[in-house]
Amino acid sequence: MSDPTIASVPVAPPIRRHDHDDTAREECGVLGLSTPHGEGVAQLAFFGLFALQHRGQEAAGLAVSDGTRTRVHKQAGLVANVFTQEALKPLTGYHAIGHTRYSTTGSNAERNIQPFLVETMHGPLSLAHNGNLVNATALRDELLNRGFGLTATSDTEVFTLMLAAAGGRTWQERIERTLPAWKGAFSLVILAADQVIAVRDPWGFRPLSVGRLPNGGHAVASETCALSTLGCVEIDEVRPGEMVSLRGAEIERTQVLAPQPHGARCTFEFVYFSRPDSVWDGHSVHHARQRLGIELARESLVDADVVIPVPDSSIPAAIGFARESGLPFNDGLIKNRYIGRTFIEPTQDIRERGVALKFNALSENLEGKRVIMIDDSLVRGTTAGPLVKLVRDAGASEVHVRITCPPITHPCHFGVDMGHDDDLMAARFTVEEMREHIGADSLAFLSLDGMMRAVAERESGADDGYCNACFTGRYPIAVGDAQAKLAFEGVIA
């Protein structure tokens, strides 16, 4: 069956150039560890965070407790640069939480780097999270009215201060009392003096899993790939609304809030964010991406000679597309995997070439070929055009772009920085106008039903249990009070 959102004409118009990257930015990655012996917990945490580097490249942080005292090290940069041997050496203890950050609420200023650490009347409390509160404004105002001084512009501080001020005999009781006030997406890791506590929102927006470490301790992480890196066994998903308490070999799991009946797992985790070797909701991310390609081939096949991916996240989908269509799969674009976060400004000549910083084309695989180029998404439309031109300049006779998700027409308020309506290409243009803008011979998006058949392995394509608000505008939580990413920046100079 063909997708009605396909547009095609024989001739491509000129390309407009942009300097921005056309990606929905990763949310964040969280990690928690509790060990019975306390040997090398910071080093373990380092390797766990390294496995979550793809979820945030702006900053990284780690808090470690020996049961009495908590030490924190955090700064801007990649995990390998932030945590040198010298930085890890003083981080001794039994329990740790860590974070890799891409800012969603609040800028990438140093004051917003996680984990946050405060001293409370109950001892030190450190917290890191992945996600976004849609009622952060109201909660911040309440804290200010109660006399709290806020030092950051991230909703992480809201979580931390509310817990610090909560009543209750234990941290578990304080969390239970505070949890109903938080509306939105959050997977939290909390470090008290002698334990690590993980909590997931009742909608289940962001992933979180728990496993047993080889040394008898336990770990929680945003993705199962990090737990596998640490050698964890008995890996299980933290359920929506569940609280998991870790004390070395001891683990306690409590359902503190009833899961929302329909759930709201972020579909984009399967499309783009998660590492392909992760498993979520019982589904392999790699296999889900292959199925996205299969569904895309069924909906929008075109006469062509070769299928190429835009590496890396689109590789499994391109393999699935090629397998279903019977067309050969080949590499057409080679990605520089080390360009991710550079603090060296490119020269004007290189900047004008734009996408050449990240990709080179293999002309021997493209020359004279009708090419189907598979990409995971089209967000702002600033990278697709230069990629199409790069493939054409390498000798391709035709370039047909196929996207493994529906058009992104609405912003995300739950922890993904996609920009706003004015930034989103599909919110402003028709499919035909987008095709003209990127200069492709044809452009097609996967239908919502096709995407859900691939992700959830359902014949019907129903999206129950998943959040597709960025495609449909149907938000599982009212977002009238949700703030823009930098909404609180004016508060603090």
Catalytic residues: 28
Question: How many Cβ atoms are within 10 Å of 353's Cβ, its own excluded?
Answer: 14
Tell how strand 95-101 and strand 306-309 pair up: unpaired
| Alpha carbons 101 and 204: distance in angstroms, whole number | 20
The answer to whether residues 45 and 35 touch, using CB atoms and an 8 Å cutoff, is no
DSSP code of 485? T
Start-to-end CA distance of the chain, whole Å, equals 56
The answer to whether residues 208 and 128 touch, using CB atoms and an 8 Å cutoff, is no
Give one DSSP letter per residue of 91-146, joined into a string. --SSEEEEEEE--SSS-S-GGGPSPEEEEETTEEEEEEEEEEETTHHHHHHHHHHT
| Alpha carbons 139 and 159: distance in angstroms, whole number | 9
**Residue 395 falls in which region: left (phi positive, over 0), alpha (psi -120 to 50) or beta:** left
| Alpha carbons 184 and 201: distance in angstroms, whole number | 7
Q: Is 93 exposed, middle or buried (0-12, 13-18, 19+ CB in 10 A)?
A: buried
| Alpha carbons 223 and 10: distance in angstroms, whole number | 43
Q: What are the CB-based long-range contacts (under 8 Å, 24+) for 282-291?
A: 282/237, 283/455, 283/456, 283/457, 286/316, 287/316, 288/454, 288/455, 289/313, 289/314, 289/316, 289/317, 289/320, 289/404, 290/316, 290/317, 290/319, 290/320, 290/323, 291/320, 291/453, 291/454, 291/455, 291/457
| Alpha carbons 36 and 337: distance in angstroms, whole number | 37
Distance of CA 74 to the CA centre of its chain: 20
